[in-house]
A and B are shown apart, each in its own frame.
Chain A
Amino acid sequence: MPSVVELVQSLVNGIGIGLIYGLIAIGFCVIYNASGIVNFAQGVFVMLGGMFAHTILTHYGLPIWLSAVLATILVAGVGVLVQIFVINPMWRRNAPLFAIILATLAVQLLIEQVVILTLGDQPRTYPEFTSGGPLKIGPIAVGYQLFWVLGCGAVMVFSLQQFFNRTRMGRALRACAQNREAAALLGVPVERMLIVAFALSSGLGAAAGILITPTQYTAYMVGGPFGINGFIAAIIGGFGSPPAALIGGIFLGVIQSEAIVFFGAGFKNIISLTLLLVVLLLFPNGLFGGLTKRA
């Protein structure tokens, strides 16, 4: 039986990784709500965020904040390219759902291979944003990076909420989510909104990747697991509002790290995927979507 300290420590770690899952989950939701497409290549943006930030930081010697901003913008650009060259043609041709899913998986493969060719396949990391050892609260260690994740996550969720509720473009996005045809009739440029959604969601993924890289590492293949966990978090949150997705992510992160304490690291994925199945079967609208039975 693990000690209390171990449990609390894993809880803290779980919240840290869970916030990252939450940010990725928000990215899923933004695209899904605007277009009804689940972008399974979402994880690749997380990886690109970390890789780009590292490259800019080490090769051009820019300060970390500038590298982070530049990397986020670059990855958002990649997201727009994916939308224009892959998703939009399929969307216009009314491609079936699963063909689009497969296309996003192919995009993931493509980007990963391009990254191997251009940036190499070595894992890499960079120092935490604020140097200095972990903050000790009694026997519990809290890394400074966790506070960065927490702060940035809060800022991003808050500004997204404002964006969706206050700005014209955010409202147009929500209109597309509710009824695409009606939105188009009212003069909302739906395809342009899709581009905005992709830019937003890939930027969010990149931010998550930039924030998590100092505590872990990044390499070309980290995208897949991040994408899957982000998707699980999105389903737990119910594909609804950004805060719900964030909470879903934290929930998943905590459960995963407790599972590591109780069952060992190998069972991390088994537990989280089982959790996904349970949520899908019992609460198809997510834990915060009410108990209505509708898949």
Chain B
Amino acid sequence: MTSLSITSPKPAARAARARLDWFQIGLLAVCGLLTTGALIYGGYLLTVFQLAMIYGIFCIGLNFFMGYTGQASFGQNAFACIGGYGSAILCVQYGWEPALALIASMVVAGVAALLIGYPTLRLRGHYLAMATFSLGLITYDISIQWTSLTQGYMGYAGIPPLGIAGFEIESERWKLVALAALLGFAFWISQRMRDSRFGRGLRAISGSENGAAALGIRVPRFKLIAFVIAALYASAAGSLFAHTVGFISPEVFGPQMAIITFTMLYVGGVGTMIGPIVGAIVASVLPEIFRSVGKFQDIAYAVVLLGMLIYAPKGLSSLGKLFRPRKKEEA
């Protein structure tokens, strides 16, 4: 299969522009309906879906690095941390505009990703997973210890809500609408990049690094760019979290976040277009459903996740493919 797409670039390029099948469209529609429902119903559900939107943005970035490029990063929470604290510090201490603070911290996170990624991305497999995981842990510890900058466990309170040029979004409902719009925007950008020459190069890398290098793709540079893109998305998600909730502390961006977002990505389907969005919404709503089970909530969550990983490792959005001839998976 790979050899075919290498020897005949034209049909492959057309096939690469993957279309959503009906099952996936259905999933997206269900997610949209759920969000609309939450919008109408209001109350606590609004917060759940606001967070789902933010996690969705985070996961779209993660999907770039993990899904399309086939690398692993357990440490994206480090960049969310930079984004969140950047926004908090710039807005609270220096009274910046939220939108400006968001962009400024994205720049910082991008530069940080560039510097960190350059040496780290030479690693592979478990080593890369562990190196990135430890990056997340280091950032978490620093955010606790560097009290003069981050106020340690105290965290930052009173972060202004999202807004631009003095106009602030106060209503919880409008916050959700704005976040959903941002999610759509993030999705659109990722879609454009996925189908660009660059995006196709990334997917070639995930197929075979040697093959991609033989085709003239600069593998390390492409990987690094994908890493930076993922970091930019993560940072934006961190900033949005800070502006939406109005309070951040180190626990928000702890290693737990890495695991949660990883779960979302796998539930939705790693490397699929709508996977991050579906995963973020499903994995945010799921614990709320299990809340009625009381103290068994986490157990139920873990069991569902394990079941998904074993029986539907490509996630929800590929369940529709179960009825079609299956292709052999590479390990």
Contacts and interface: CB of A to CB of B under 8 A. Distances in A.
Contact of B313 (A95, A231, A232): A95
A280 B119 CA distance: 10
A105 B259 CA distance: 8
A122 B315 CA distance: 37
Interface in B213-270: 259, 262-263, 266
B123 A284 contact: yes
A90 B259 CA distance: 19
Interface in A97-139: 97-99, 101-103, 105-107, 109-110, 113-114, 116-117
A277 B299 contact: no
Given A110-B298, A280-B123, 19 more contacts: A90-B309, A90-B310, A90-B313, A93-B329, A97-B126, A99-B266, A101-B126, A103-B309, A109-B301, A109-B302, A113-B299, A267-B141, A267-B145, A270-B138, A276-B130, A276-B131, A277-B131, A281-B123, A284-B127
Contacts of B126: 32, 38, 97, 101
Interface of A: 32, 38, 86, 89-90, 93-99, 101-103, 105-107, 109-110, 113-114, 116-117, 228, 231-232, 235, 266-267, 269-270, 273-274, 276-277, 280-281, 284, 295
Given A281-B119, A284-B123, A106 B138 contact: no
A222 to B, nearest CB: 15
A235 B127 contact: yes
A280 B131 contact: yes
B305 interface: yes
Given A110-B302, A284-B127, A102 B309 contact: yes
Contacts, number: 122
Given A102-B263, A266-B144, A280-B123, A117 B309 contact: no
A175 to B, nearest CB: 20
Contacts of A277: 120, 131, 134-135, 138
Contacts of A114: 299
Contact of B295 (A106, A117, A231): A117
A280 B135 CA distance: 12
A97 B119 CA distance: 22
A94 B141 CA distance: 36
A32 to B, nearest CB: 8
A146 B291 CA distance: 44
A117 B299 CA distance: 10
B142 A270 contact: yes
B138 A274 contact: yes
B137 A280 contact: no
Interface in B281-331: 295-296, 298-299, 301-303, 305-306, 309-310, 313, 329-331
Nearest to B310: A89
A38 B72 CA distance: 14
B212 interface: no
* Main DSSP-derived SS at the A contact region: helix
A263 to B, nearest CB: 9
B101 interface: no
B17 interface: no
B77 to A, nearest CB: 14
Contacts of A38: 126, 129-130
Contact of B125 (A93, A97, A103): A97
Contacts of B305: 102-103, 106
A101 B270 CA distance: 14
Contacts of B66: 98
A94 B309 CA distance: 11
Contacts of B124: 295
B122 interface: yes
Given A89-B310, A90-B313, A107-B306, A273 B263 contact: no
Contacts of A266: 141, 144-145
A258 to B, nearest CB: 17
25 contacts: A38-B129, A86-B306, A90-B309, A94-B330, A97-B126, A97-B331, A102-B266, A103-B305, A103-B310, A110-B302, A110-B303, A116-B295, A117-B295, A117-B299, A228-B134, A231-B130, A269-B141, A270-B145, A276-B130, A276-B131, A276-B134, A280-B130, A295-B124, A295-B125, A295-B127
Interface string B55-98: 00000000000100000100000000000000000000000000
Contacts of B133: 228
Listed from nearest, the 6 A-B pairs whose CB atoms lie closest are A110-B302, A273-B134, A113-B298, A94-B331, A109-B302, A266-B145
A61 B120 CA distance: 51
A267 B141 CA distance: 8
Contacts of B131: 276-277, 280-281
A193 B126 CA distance: 22
A161 B119 CA distance: 36
A276 B129 CA distance: 12
A103 B138 contact: no
A156 B262 CA distance: 36
A106 B306 contact: yes
A187 B72 CA distance: 35
Contacts of B263: 102, 106
Nearest to B134: A273
Given A110-B299, A117-B295, A281-B120, A269 B137 contact: yes
A106 B302 contact: yes
Contacts of A280: 123, 127, 130-131
